[in-house]
Amino acid sequence: MAASKFVFKRAVLGVFHSVEPPAVRVAGELAERLDLQIVGLFALDRAIQTLAGYSKAREFLPSKREWRFLDPDIVAREQMLAAEAARRAFKRLVQSHRVPSSFEIVTAAAGQIFETVEASDILVLPLPRRASAAALYSLTVFVESAVRSAASVLFVPQTAQARKGPIVVIARSPDDPSIAVAIRVAAAAQEKVILVTGFDEALEAPLKDETGAVIEQIRGSEKALYDVQYVSELLGNRTESLIILMRSDGAAIPGDYCADLAERRKAPVLLLEPMNSDVRIRQV
């Protein structure tokens, strides 16, 4: 089987208000397996700074049960204090991973935060704990911005557990490049690969990993593979540690599908950006 030609250089962890330990752990593990640098990217929301500039803008303080006028200087100071607290937390958490790391602070509108990431990046997107938190973090805007970016995107639910388990790949065809990436990650993690497929072509020979072991295959309906409940039922009670699939021009994969799948399976979901690779997988 041909080696993956996906070129990954950085795992870029999006930090919106505070550093999420599960996301740092998942990003660190992936960085170790793929030999990546891990970067914390703290987003200062430009919209809040702009809003604070309006003379009548106010904010509600739950702890005091009162409204106060927004002071631009106070808002800027509070944002920088949050950024520095996130930097310290990131530095502490990333120390347990043997990878180079850095922390960056950017100011941008919510929909433009990830415009600086590159095709060789894996953007690590922490998902909030509750629906209310999703509204607070403008989750839809952040997810759409991430999926529109040039990078591959790793969706990390708060329910992601530190566990050993197979690498699941959802493939649209026998030469889907995501298969090679799954094999690469599985080899580094010493895990097996589970191939979930919906294609009709008969395999000339079983797909195998780099050790020669036959990859476990689960056959499903191609049209139903983008139904979260259906995929979850196919996987059953397996405890996978990562799910990988690739965005396709012929079948757009919305970010909320990946987020929902990650939450349901309690496992990170890696959505690969096809422009990163020209890899082709051959059967053995």
Superfamily (CATH H level) for 10-62+70-156: HUPs (3.40.50.620)
pTM greater than the 0.75 cutoff: yes
State the virtual CA torsion across 44, 48, 50, 56 in degrees, nearest 10. -160
Distance, in Å, from the CA atom of 38 to the CA atom of 27, rounded to the nearest integer, reads 7
Question: Do residues 154 and 245 touch, judged by C-beta distance below 8 A?
Answer: no
Q: Which of 156, 203, 205, 211 is nearest to 186 (CA)?
A: 211
- Enumerate the domain spans of the chain: 10-62+70-156, 167-276
**Domains 10-62+70-156 and 167-276 alike in fold:** yes
Which fold does the domain 167-276 belong to in CATH?
Rossmann fold (3.40.50)
pLDDT values of the chain reduced to their tens digit, one per residue, 284 residues? 444 567 899 999 988 778 889 999 999 999 999 999 999 998 877 666 666 666 666 665 666 676 766 677 777 788 889 899 999 999 999 999 989 999 998 887 666 778 788 889 999 988 876 554 555 555 667 777 788 888 999 999 888 877 789 999 998 887 888 888 999 999 888 899 999 988 765 555 566 666 666 688 888 888 788 889 999 999 999 999 999 998 865 445 666 788 889 999 999 999 998 766 543 333 32
Distance, in Å, from the CA atom of 272 to the CA atom of 263, rounded to the nearest integer, reads 18
Question: Do residues 51 and 24 touch, judged by C-beta distance below 8 A?
Answer: no
